[in-house]
Structure 1
Amino acid sequence: MKRKSMEGSICPVARSLDIIGDWWSLLIVRDALNGLTRFGEFQKNLGIAKNMLTQRLKQLVEQDILTVRPATDGSAWNEYVLTEKGRALQTVLVALAQWGGDYLFDSHEKCSVLVDDELHQPLRKLTLQAQDGRTLAPEEVVAQIPAIPVE
């Protein structure tokens, strides 16, 4: 069954999921944020089938989340490097990691924790914040469609 495209949706969540909504894409971005750049590195780390990885990498390049460049070591290989748009997904992955750590592990299970590279301290929990800095509860956030200015 072919998946319905959310390309025309007014909802930014729907449009985002249309592009990066499968787990392989987000795991590739996670690995790229952790420094992986080569097809073989992604394939080995994820255990993903080569044809599936090829498809996901192509989509991520088409969506300007990754870019392809010649290998920095001068070899004949290519590297996949995150664009600014791709690097901006780090906040999404941090939110997912924090949620998963809070709700998907038993207290006796080991769970990786994201830390600040300089001080090696866990990251502060992401929160919903108003423009004035107030922390908001989920029920205090609503979606709104702003009026488009007429020129």
Structure 2
Amino acid sequence: MSSKQKVNSGDYFTIPMTDGRQAVCQAIWIGKDSSGQTFKKVFAFCVLSVGDEKDIPDEVSYLSFQNHRGTFEVIFTAVDKLLSGEWPVIGRGPIKDEKMVNFEFNMAGDLYLCGEPVRVLAIDEYKDYLSMAISGYVLVERYFNQY
């Protein structure tokens, strides 16, 4: 039985896959930490490894994935499985990539910094920022299957 767990940016956690492998991931941004609770049901993470190992790699670097928009490292999804403990936290570490520490994203034409609104983006700026696109759990595993 899973139990509720507290999760913070920088926490490492595992996601069990249906084929028996594990994805070792790092939480980059937790939406509920944003003022106003606008994004309280989502979070963003990066993946360090996909395979049989459940350990945090010595060298922390994030895997890249492909979709119809191109290459990306950050995945947005619902926070339920993380908070419930179904995706267990296995450690904590610093977020080493500066663009992940100062996490900016585009949500419906608005620029956010760590979940706080900054300004409205001009249409020609959209391409310069990561777009928040929430992936369902099945799609998350499909991304992992690229490895």
Structure of higher CA gyration radius: 1
Higher helix share: 1
Between the two structures, name the one with larger relative contact order (CA 8 Å, sep ≥ 6): 2
TM > 0.5 between the two? no
TM-score normalised by structure 2 residue count: 0.23
Which protein is richer in strand relative to its size? Answer: 2
